Chain A
Amino acid sequence: AQSVTQLGSHVSVSEGALVLLRCNYSSSVPPYLFWYVQYPNQGLQLLLKYTTGATLVKGINGFEAEFKKSETSFHLTKPSAHMSDAAEYFCAVSGAYNKLIFGAGTRLAVHP
């Protein structure tokens, strides 16, 4: 069975600093991995996804993630945080019937 663990329920960074949100997965088959962002009182928006091929995946809003099979990780990064990046971020792995299994989420705070 697939599962996702997000390390750190809350992350706080300064504006302009590196953003690193951690995600580790467990999967018995080659995984499809996703990062979604949720702004307050809104639905989830896809940031990026990994299916096959290149292990460094670029997404929207300057985010990227690297699939590391040896570490079973799919960490999300952004070189320079912006105030508008403050939101909750969810890592997910695709399971049976294409349903997503989500991590518990990481709330990102960006301070001036």
Chain B
Amino acid sequence: NAGVMQNPRHLVRRRGQEARLRCSPMKGHSHVYWYRQLPEEGLKFMVYLQKENIIDESGMPKERFSAEFPKEGPSILRIQQVVRGDSAAYFCASSPQVLSGANVLTFGAGSRLTVL
């Protein structure tokens, strides 16, 4: 039973390019969360998605960032026109159906974005 799979593990982009980060949740999990970890900081919530629905995007920057979780395929975090401040580790987590706050989130190994 594979865990949460994220790819690419490392991504280098030049300023102005686009970055696409992919996350496949654990088998049986239909809820996906994206977090960003800036250097020397904790994890900050970005967005929570279910299949084909964005449920909570309160942590997403207003511009350039978007996320989706299509009916088929992985969840995608997309960053357009990247800037140096986007350099960070982006973590995806998944959980089974949300019944209460006691559900454990399972994290992937992260995608580390470097913007030159």
Chain A residues near B (Cβ < 8 Å): 32, 34, 36, 41-46, 49, 51, 90, 94-105
Contact = CB atoms under 8 A, between A and B. Distances in A.
14 contacts: A32-B101, A41-B110, A42-B109, A43-B110, A51-B101, A97-B56, A98-B95, A98-B105, A99-B48, A100-B105, A102-B35, A102-B43, A102-B44, A103-B42
Contacts of A101: 45
Interface of B: 4, 31, 33, 35, 41-45, 48, 55-56, 91, 93, 95, 98, 100-110, 112
Nearest to B41: A104
Given A32-B101, A43-B109, A97 B42 contact: no
How would you classify the secondary structure of chain A's contact residues: helix, strand, loop or mixed?
mixed
Contact of B42 (A43, A51, A105): A105
Contacts of A95: 45, 101
A93 to B, nearest CB: 9
Max count, chain B CB within 10 A of own CB: residue among A32, A45, A103: A32
Nearest to B104: A46
Nearest to B101: A94
Contacts of B56: 96-97, 99
A95 B101 CA distance: 7
B42 A90 contact: yes
Contact of B91 (A32, A44, A104): A44
B5 to A, nearest CB: 11
Nearest to B98: A98
A22 to B, nearest CB: 15
Contacts of B105: 98, 100
